Amino acid sequence: MKRLLFWGALGGLVALPLDALHVVTGVLTYRNPMLGLQDWWAVPLFVGAGLALGLGHRHAALPLSRRQTLPASSLAAAMAGLLSLVFCYASSGFLQSWPLLALFIYCVIFTVAVFLVDPRARPTLLVHAVGAGLIGPAVEIFISSTGAFTYGHPDVFGVAYWLPGIYINAAMGAHFMDRWLIGRS
Percent of the chain clearing pLDDT 70 (strictly above)? 99
Cα dihedral 31, 36, 170, 50, rounded to 10, equals -100
Please say if the pLDDT value at position 36 is more than 80: no
Examine the pLDDT at 184 and tell me if it is beyond 90: no
8 — pLDDT class (breaks 50, 70, 90): very high
Q: Are 68 and 120 in contact (CB under 8 A)?
A: no
User: Which parts of 49-166 are beta strand (E)?
Assistant: 149-151
* Number of domains, the chain: 1
Rounded to the nearest integer, the mean pLDDT of the chain is 93
Average pLDDT over residues 62-90: 90
Residue range of the domain that includes 56: 2-184
Average pLDDT over residues 129-143: 97
Phi and psi of 69, rounded to 5°?
A: -140, 165
Coil vs helix vs strand at 53:
helix
Amino acid symbol at 183: G
